[in-house]
Chains A and B, each alone.
Chain A
Amino acid sequence: MIRFENILPKPLEGLHHGENSVWERSFELDFNNKTLLNASSGKGKTTFIHLIYGLRTDYSGQILFNNENIQQWDINRWTEMRKNVYSVIFQDLQLFPNLSTEENLRIKWDLGSDLKFDEVIEMLSKLGLGDKLNQSCGTLSQGQQQRVAIVRAMIPKFQYLLMDEPFSHLDEENTAIALELILNRCEHLNAGCFMTTLGETYNNKFNQMLYL
């Protein structure tokens, strides 16, 4: 469980935030929940995910993970969290463009997974990329790369999945397949998830809604 106490990123200081906004409020993210963070562009959705994931520390207030202040964590603790607790789909995907699809997936799989690599390839095939295994990621379309990033995030045995607009380049059909894949994986691992979106509600498959 993560508890937020009056969090406000430094760049957003002095700006007006709505009553429902998560900024400067105290609330919790339960790892059993599927949470959707809904906001228009520029409100700080990516920033919010980066705060949870430890990529940004320029904020006031406190973020507590099981009552530990995450600002006190060192690189060893963050590595452990990123390896064993969180999995993430970045908005900018963060793939290795010079490596093939398979190599991109193997890099994550090498860190440890409950899945066999064949099962990972099966997921990729479900998303229509079974024939792109040996293709360099940099040469795939944005939508294809987004699907590779989704599959990569499914590999570890995570407790909480963070997703920053993971379907922004996918059509409806692929979005539905990817969402089903994600929710099945979360259910299988008994894990929670957190997704930012620009207004989509995804047929109310999420049980907690937050706003910025």
Chain B
Amino acid sequence: MLFHKLDRLQLLIVTIGAVVGFLFLLAVVHYFGAIKNLASGADSIGANLVVAQKKVSKYAAFDSNNAVFTSEDLELLNDHPAIQKVAPVVNNQFYVSLAMREEGLPYFSTDIFIQAVDDDMLDLKLENWRWDEHSELIPLVMPRDFMLMLNQFAASYNIPQVSEDIAKTLNFTIELRGLGRKQSYKARIVGFSNQMNSVLVPMSFMTFGNLNFAEDKTTAPTLLILQLDQKKYGDFEQLMDDLNLEIKENELLVVKIQGMLYVVLSVLFIIALIIVVLCGMMLAQFSMLLVSESAYEVQTLLHIGYHPKQIASHFYHFFLRRFALVLLLVLALFAALKYAIDNVLMNFGLLVEFWPSWLGLLIIVLLAWGLVLWNYKRILSYIAKS
């Protein structure tokens, strides 16, 4: 009765506008999340982190102080807007060797260099990354190159090669030496890193080692882990030149790509929001037209005892059903769009999350519901005044 003068063409335009706007919004939020995770997951070092050291020139190669970060350098880095966090990498000041003695495998032993960083710079569960003097095992994060070395070693003895998962089950022994003392500990691999070239141990273990086995207990850091703000990457490049810093080129590439994609997606996000706002305005205009064209029916319902809320709720449910349909359509189109985009990304070797972003879904559901609710309030106010 209230919808007999419904303009189907106008309704179709509002529906298409809503589908386009919400589809854009869902896609943008989803790929925002995907880009954020681009550099994480595969590495035990957290996302947006780079390992920085000072460039060593051939003239300064013999001056060990040239590679050290001074307190002024650290202060400058800490205060820089492009850097969210600075964490020094602490080195061992004592002798460390790593040995593997597993049944069926040849004995393997090597001197190693270990390092430690703040726990919150690592993408590891804390229960795996904890050590105190009563712990049975020392957790280790190995450079991925170690796997290469281990498998070359395995090949030369004609034994099967090991995967990262199998490597995590192997038992190692770490021996610390210094100040005339010697102590062995059991160790196990809990993660791998492309960014670190040394074996990482918990900071508590490093502190314990340097305190009990090192002669020189005070050294300035030569390596830093920096957490970057991708949006201010240009500023960071300038700082690198000023401080004579160098970081791995592939780390830079990921940060650069992320920064660029963030800009593109931010623009698309704004466009999607504008489409949704325009769709909301069209919805409001369409609704008012619909109500005013049903003015006789609305007035008569009021005259025979219907409350404005009862009448407005008919419009609310009508648009709620329509927007539920819009969201279903958006999900179906998004699935198709995502399938096409993900295929392209996979050709570049990038794996994107299968499920759509929950945040994206939440945003479009809340926005759609908000639009319908706002429209209901306007209709209610219009009816109550009539």
Contacts and interface: CB of A to CB of B under 8 A. Distances in A.
Contacts of B297: 96
Contact of B304 (A75, A76, A103, A152): A152
A166 to B, nearest CB: 15
A156 B304 CA distance: 10
A108 B304 contact: yes
Contact of B307 (A76, A90, A96): A76
B90 to A, nearest CB: 71
Contact of B384 (A75, A99, A108): A75
Given A75-B308, A75-B384, A98 B4 contact: yes
Interface in B294-316: 297, 300-308
Interface in B1-37: 1, 4
B340 to A, nearest CB: 47
A55 B305 contact: no
A3 interface: no
A111 B304 CA distance: 9
B300 A94 contact: yes
B297 to A, nearest CB: 6
B176 to A, nearest CB: 81
Interface string B358-384: 000000000000000000000000001
Contact of A98 (B1, B303, B306): B1
A103 B4 CA distance: 15
Contacts, number: 39
Given A75-B384, A94-B300, A96-B297, A83 B1 contact: no
Interface string A150-167: 001000100000000000
Interface string A63-97: 00000000000011001001100001010001110
Contacts of B4: 98
Contacts of A96: 1, 297, 300
Nearest to A93: B300
Select the residue from B301, B304, B306, B308 with max chain A CB neighbours within 10 A. B304
A156 B1 contact: no
B303 A156 contact: no
B306 A111 contact: yes
A103 B2 CA distance: 13
Interface string A163-189: 000000000000000000000000000
A98 B308 CA distance: 21
Nearest to A112: B305
Interface string B303-342: 1111110000000000000000000000000000000000
Interface in A91-141: 94-96, 98-99, 103, 107-108, 111
A83 B300 contact: no
A103 B302 CA distance: 17
B299 to A, nearest CB: 8
Nearest to A50: B303
Interface in B270-314: 297, 300-308
Contact of B303 (A76, A94, A103, A111): A94
Given A98-B1, A98-B4, A99-B1, A79 B307 contact: yes
A108 B301 CA distance: 9
A111 to B, nearest CB: 5
A156 B306 CA distance: 13
Contacts of B301: 107
Select the residue from B300, B305, B307, B308 with max chain A CB neighbours within 10 A. B305
Contacts of B304: 82, 88, 94, 107-108, 111, 152
Contacts of A53: 303
A152 B297 CA distance: 16
B303 A82 contact: yes
Nearest to B307: A79
Select the residue from A76, A90, A107 with max chain B CB neighbours within 10 A. A107
B250 to A, nearest CB: 68
A150 B305 CA distance: 16
Select the residue from A88, A103, A111, A156 with max chain B CB neighbours within 10 A. A111
Interface in A36-79: 53, 55, 75-76, 79
Nearest to A153: B304
Contacts of B384: 75
A55 B1 CA distance: 23
B303 A88 contact: yes
A107 B384 CA distance: 19
Nearest to B301: A107
A46 to B, nearest CB: 13
Contacts of A88: 303-304
B240 to A, nearest CB: 68
Contact of A90 (B1, B302, B303, B305): B303
Given A96-B300, A99-B1, A111 B305 contact: yes
13 contacts: A55-B303, A75-B384, A79-B302, A79-B308, A82-B305, A83-B305, A94-B300, A94-B304, A95-B300, A96-B1, A103-B1, A107-B301, A152-B304
Sort A-B residue pairs by CB-CB distance and give the 9 closest, nearest first. A83-B305, A82-B305, A79-B307, A94-B300, A75-B384, A111-B305, A98-B4, A108-B304, A94-B303
Given A83-B305, A96-B1, 6 more contacts: A75-B307, A82-B303, A94-B304, A103-B1, A107-B304, A152-B304
Interface of B: 1, 4, 297, 300-308, 384
Interface of A: 53, 55, 75-76, 79, 82-83, 88, 90, 94-96, 98-99, 103, 107-108, 111, 152, 156
